[in-house]
Structure 1
Amino acid sequence: MSTTQSERLRELLEPLVGSQGLDLEEIEVDSVGRKRVLRVVVDSDTGADLDQIADVSRALSAKLDETDAMGAGEYTLEVGTPGAERELTEHRHYVRGTGRLVRFQLADGAELVARITGVDDTGLDTEVPGVKGRRPTAGRLSFEEIAKARVQVEFNRKDKKDENDMTEDEEA
């Protein structure tokens, strides 16, 4: 997709997405045979439920139908949210990732896997999980130190809250 078309689509669709209380995260146009697929990724600080996705999809579809932004050919519109292992590229992504385990590729070439515990304007507070009985280690990363960051999927995470909030029936 040309930069011009990408910019035009973003200018056209971003206000509609914003009016639905969501952020426009990504726009991608792929060719699939003779058809094209327009993928729009949306999100918010509280996530997006299926009703919001459906509402924004209808609004975007109507707007695209009344303009020539996608040209005359057929296309399919797909609206969704970022995947589980999303890349963090904007300040708001890091804020939304608070509490999540993230794999950082640092500007100096090093790699770090840590949980985001806080975010401010200059960087992140992190906690490297303890292994084999060791305590977690707190740290700090400035945004300039981060080359790439991607959320990691955790299947076996036990929240401290869950361990401490068990009822007597659950403990027995």
Structure 2
Amino acid sequence: MATDNNINLIEQFLQSILAEEPLYFLVSVKIKPTNNIKVFLDGDSGLPIEKCVYFNRKLYKFIEEAGIYPEGEFSLEVSSPGIDEPLQLIRQYQKNIGRTIQVVFTDDTIKEGVLETVAEADIMIQCTTGKGKKAVTEQVLIPFSNIKSTTVQIKF
């Protein structure tokens, strides 16, 4: 399928662009049937809008020069994943240490807690159950293999 080849090509272009920008990393590339290319990047300290514009311009030039879309009929969006998007990479987990996350397990049970540590194969969260004097705080080790999805919870 041509779209898969295009995704691979675009990912290769991005890797060469990001090789010069070690604070930023690729999360995913999606291409809609309308040749709308959506690139999600992230950074260890976030992804400022100026960097999105910079990466968009560089990538756009690569795509044009490669002639992936001979008629030039494509659109390109470069952004960071929304806060409601599930974490996909260990590097995303690491940048969210100290934040409250919600983990949906492969059996669809849910646990919420503060992300404390991230290792190659698992994460550790601190969960508090109960209120006041009856509150119990525990650390829970969760293997990545047991995680269906993880999202950062915004607390106001």
Which range, TM-score by smaller chain? 0.7 to 0.9
Q: Which residue of 1 aligns with 2:29?
A: 27
Which one-letter code corresponds to 1:28 in the other structure? K
Quote the Cα distance in structure 2 between the aligned partners of 1:96 and 1:136: 23
- Spell out, residue by residue over 1:86-108, the C-alpha distance to the aligned partner (whole angstroms, 9 max, x if none): 21222112112212222212134
Q: Which residue of 1 aligns with 2:112?
A: 113
Pairing 1:92-107 to 2, within 5 Å after superposition: 92-107=91-106
Q: 1:107·1:147 contact (CA, 8 Å) conserved in 2?
A: yes
Pairing 1:42-121 to 2, within 5 Å after superposition: 42-121=41-120
Gaps of 5+ in 2: none
Alignment TM-score, normalising by the size of structure 1: 0.77
- Is 1:126 the equivalent of 2:125? yes
Quote the Cα distance in structure 1 between the aligned partners of 2:139 and 2:18: 37
Alignment TM-score, normalising by the size of structure 2: 0.84
Which one-letter code corresponds to 2:104 in the other structure? Q
With 7-16 and 40-49 compared, the bigger mean Cα shift is at 7-16
SS in 2 for 1:57: helix
Instruction: List, as ranges, runs of 4+ consecutive aligned residues in structure 1 with deviation greater than 6 Å.
Output: none
Quote the Cα distance in structure 2 between the aligned partners of 1:4 and 1:76: 17
Quote the Cα distance in structure 1 between the aligned partners of 2:116 and 2:69: 42
Which one-letter code corresponds to 2:43 in the other structure? S
Give the structure with higher Rg (CA).
1
**CA displacement at 1:152 relative to structure 2:** 2.2
Gaps of 5+ in 1: 157-172
